[in-house]
A = this chain, B = another copy of it.
Amino acid sequence: MAQKVSPAVIRRLPKYYRYLKELQRNGVIRISSTSLGNGMGLTASQVRQDFNCFGGFGQQGYGYNVEALQNELAAILKLNAGYRIIIIGAGNLAHALINNFIFSANGFTLVCAFDVAPDKVGTQIHDIPIYHMDELEQMCQVYQPDAAVLTCPGKIAGAVAQRLTALGIRGFWNFTNTDLPALDADVVCENVHLSDSLMTLCCCMEKGG
C-alpha cells in the first residue's frame, strides 16, 4: 500500500501519530479534520486527502476517534512489526540514543551495538552489549537484525552499509552525514543530515542587532 503513497504523505504520518498521542494524553476522544489540521498546520481537506490514501478513517460529520486513528496509523507505520535494530559505532551519539531515545516507541527493538575500540568492546550501554565489528557476521546470525543505525565515521559508512546489506539488513538510519552508495532496491535509508538541518536554520535566521 505504502508504495502508492507519496513520500510527503508518508513523512506526515509520524507527525499525525505524535499529535494524536498528545491529544490522547490531554483526554481528547474525538477530533474533526479541521481541528486536527489546525493543530498540524494543515487544512481540513489536506488531512482528509492524506487519510484517504489509506482508505479514510473518519465518518462524515463525526470526525476521527483519536485512539482508533492512532492505532490505524501505528499499523500503517508498522510500529508493531517487531523489527530489530543494531547500532554501528558506539560513540557519544550512540550513547545519547541508547540513553535517551525510546526505540521501542518507534517500531524497533534495539538489540546490540558494534565498535572496534578495545575499551568499548565487551562492555554494555544500559543493557545493550557492544561487540567487535569482527563479530558482525556471527552476531547478526544470533540477533537477526532488520535494520542498523549508522553512527560510525562517514568514511567507512558505505563499506559498512554494503557489508550489512549482505547480512540481510534492509533499513539504515544514517547519522554519518554521508550519502550511502546505491543499495538493493528493497533496502531503505533514512538520513539524518544534521549539517543540512543546521544550515537550513542558518539560512532562515534574520540578521538583527
Residues of A bordering B, CB below 8 Å = 2, 10-11, 13-15, 17-18, 76-79, 81, 83, 91-93, 95-97, 99-101, 103, 105-108, 146-147, 170-173, 186, 188-190, 192-208
Contacts and interface: CB of A to CB of B under 8 A. Distances in A.
A22 to B, nearest CB: 9
Contacts of A97: 194
A201 B170 CA distance: 10
Contacts of A188: 201, 204-206
Copies in the complex: 2
A195 B91 contact: no
A171 B96 contact: no
5 contacts: A11-B196, A13-B203, A14-B199, A78-B202, A171-B205
A106 to B, nearest CB: 4
A158 to B, nearest CB: 13
